[in-house]
Chain A
């Protein structure tokens, strides 16, 4: 009564079904989940704001004056903190046209070279508050030529330093 005749289509049907289901299973498992792309946009915005602010601070107000950033670095001894930097920089990164002020925190320092041993050290300028563990920060940098006596030298001379600012959102 039961024989193998008539199982042709059934078997083929089963096989095709298995193939499709297996494929679907593989594909679903393999498709990447879109998650972290958005954070790059806010990073990009922060970096743009930071570099803009540093650039504005390094611009003279007229051809007669010197750049405020240069004045701050030249006038502050290494290891001392300078609050004037914070007063201008904080406002530059947080000012908006409407809806009040933004909440971006920063921590600024500059790197200089020690000519005796060619090492690169960093001097702290100012921070709005300390960066806590786990907060994701973006770095903006600006080269500044200052006339300053740096460790490794005896006299003040023209040197190039790199101002680095870490910024993060509250």
Chain B
């Protein structure tokens, strides 16, 4: 096959090639074999099932003393979590265990839970939640991802028992009416052999060493005042002197000191009282932790709790133990032999004690692979070391980059804020804190999720109208604030006889949009607006050259005596005289004429008249004639105004004439303020 010459035989090559080709082809089929190999997805359901069983059917370890009684510093003694009441009562959970399990301050997700309820080396992520029939949800763990293993268990939760000793109980059962005393002793009996013997099923049993016991003594004030002899509500006082606990084993009493951690709550306070004696107004709540009874190891003993009260003044009160002169000597000897008094029995009598009640609940366990990032800012650092910054912008601008931005742990990220035309930045809010209207923001050394929101507002501008205007008004007549791009409209109202002539925007003359309004094109800066109004024709004859432009006949002059308006008027006198003018009304309609006219004629047949012609003076229409003796013939100017017929509209041959028909010196006629108005067509 081979020799030192380095030749290979064709036979060898052919054989080897065939072999290699087949080998490669066969090996490439191997990945196809492995398609079914994904065992870890099945694993999630199995782990969830196992966790569900541990939680719901197992009471946890250590069982006695119960793991939920360890305080936060001792939590490392808890080997395994379990919520069941005992191993004989699966699916019945203990409320104390449930509260302790979901307590986020005591146990930290996920590490404290992984080693105590999930188990295994693989870092599963999980979510355990519980809802009871009150609708309250407790949960521990992360937000559920897309695929997870799941189990749901239906359970019952055992509530705690409690007793309320109120006025009716005190008065009906334990009130010894013959004892008028200042020292009263009220005692409560917890008979453990009876409690543990009468009912053995842990689901219904009251076991002070396993569950909390609460005793409320209420209505103290009303009890003391309602029962004769009536004590004055404001002067009687009740003082809780001391609480003593006795344990009776086979007839022998031994005193048990009550630790300060089990002192009562007075009058609804949320913290225990720190020292006794303490004055009480209305109620006392005794709440004993299971550890207290557990330490007594009193499963076969009776426990008496005696509360000593001092009542002032003397009265019959909360006394079911024979009053003794000195409560402080009440050591080891309680006289319960008095048949008139019995201690308050904490037992299975539903009239005295609210029995533990089982309520429905649902527990759900979800398990998945643990390498998932958590969202929501402030969560634990994810395993793969990226954080998310959520950037968003309001309308009117944009932020770059926008949306969910992934940032590596410890990196910086710059955001640029740009506003659209016509808008401006108002605020950039980072993680709820305002940063002002900056145009860029940098997150330095990102170690957790953040949010950044940019807000914008539209620009506004002011349009100031000039007021007052001459011979007209503008509406609105106050400065207007408008948004960028708005097209506000201003309306002009001319005085009678005037029309809108020119609009001035920022001093630039512009034609009006409509005969009475002006609409701005899109506003981009502040502006001012003003206008001038013009009549078709006006002459007040104040000009020195008056009556310039008028055709005149007869005797006439510019007159500055009485009467005149302004600087002067025109006086016609002594002989037939007239004043005439052709005024073009081209482009106007609804012609109005107003003038001031007055006369002083001395003979009948003498008059001053105003006429107009629409055909250049061929035919005349009389407007007003002041005859001799008319009220207007009083040497004063009187105003007259008329609306003319349509023939005066748009007429280049419109003529106005004032004529005095007189022939006596002393006859006078006056004309002033001739105003021809019209609406532009």
Contact = CB atoms under 8 A, between A and B. Distances in A.
B14 interface: yes
Contact of A14 (B18, B25, B199, B203): B18
A16 B33 contact: no
Contact of A9 (B11, B26, B52, B153): B11
A52 B358 contact: no
Interface stretch (A61-69, A70-78, A125-133, A156-164): A61-69
Interface string A9-52: 11111101110110110011001011001100100110011001
A8 B348 CA distance: 98
Q: Which of A16, A33, A52 has the most chain B CB within a 10 Å cutoff?
A: A52
Interface string B79-97: 0000000000001100000
Interface string A46-60: 001100110110011
B350 interface: yes
B22 A9 contact: no
A6 interface: yes
Nearest to A34: B36
B210 interface: no
B29 interface: yes
Interface stretch (B129-137, B555-563, B635-643): B129-137
Nearest to A50: B154
B178 to A, nearest CB: 36
B355 interface: yes
A93 B154 contact: yes
Contact of B91 (A33, A38, A52): A52
Contacts of B33: 27-28, 31
Nearest to A46: B152
Contact of B129 (A37, A55, A97): A97
A51 to B, nearest CB: 9
A9 B154 contact: no
B70 interface: no
B21 A17 contact: yes
A52 B57 CA distance: 11
B364 A52 contact: no
Interface string B1-32: 10000000111111111110111011001001
A95 B19 contact: no
A106 to B, nearest CB: 13
B42 A14 contact: no
A54 B479 CA distance: 78
Contacts of A17: 18-19, 21-23
Given A13-B17, A13-B18, A56-B155, A98 B129 contact: yes
Nearest to A6: B11
Given A16-B22, A97-B131, A9 B362 contact: no
Contacts of B22: 16-18, 20-21
A114 to B, nearest CB: 32
A9 B358 contact: no
Q: Which of A17, A49, A96 has the most chain B CB within a 10 Å cutoff?
A: A17
Contacts of A45: 45, 49, 150-152
A55 B156 CA distance: 10
Interface residues of A, number: 45
Given A31-B33, A33-B36, A62-B355, A13 B154 contact: no
A53 B131 CA distance: 15
Contacts of B293: none
A67 B151 CA distance: 26
B26 A59 contact: no
Nearest to A12: B15
A6 B9 contact: yes
A138 interface: no
Contacts of B199: 63
Contacts of B139: 97
Contacts of A6: 9-11
B422 interface: no
A102 B10 CA distance: 72
Given A45-B152, A59-B92, A28 B357 contact: no
B357 A62 contact: yes
B615 interface: no
Contacts of A28: 29, 32-33
Contacts of A13: 14-19
Interface string B238-277: 0000000000000000000000000000000000000000
Given A10-B14, A41-B42, A62 B356 contact: yes
Given A52-B154, A63-B355, A97-B139, A24 B26 contact: yes
B154 A61 contact: no
A92 interface: yes
Interface in B121-175: 129-131, 137, 139, 150-156
A53 to B, nearest CB: 5
Contacts of B13: 9
A118 interface: no
Interface string A80-97: 000000000000110111
A62 B13 CA distance: 88
A119 interface: no
Interface in B192-247: 199, 201, 203-204
Given A21-B22, A31-B33, A61 B357 contact: yes
B42 A37 contact: yes
A116 interface: no
B1 A53 contact: no
Given A45-B45, A48-B153, A64-B355, A96 B19 contact: no
Given A16-B22, A28-B32, A9 B15 contact: yes
18 contacts: A7-B11, A8-B11, A9-B9, A12-B15, A17-B21, A17-B22, A17-B23, A31-B33, A45-B45, A45-B152, A49-B153, A52-B153, A53-B154, A56-B360, A59-B203, A59-B358, A60-B204, A63-B199
9 interchain residue pairs of minimum CB distance: A13-B15, A9-B15, A17-B22, A63-B204, A34-B36, A6-B11, A13-B18, A52-B154, A97-B129
Interface of A: 6-14, 16-18, 20-21, 23-24, 27-28, 31, 33-34, 37-38, 41, 44-45, 48-49, 52-53, 55-56, 59-64, 92-93, 95-98, 102
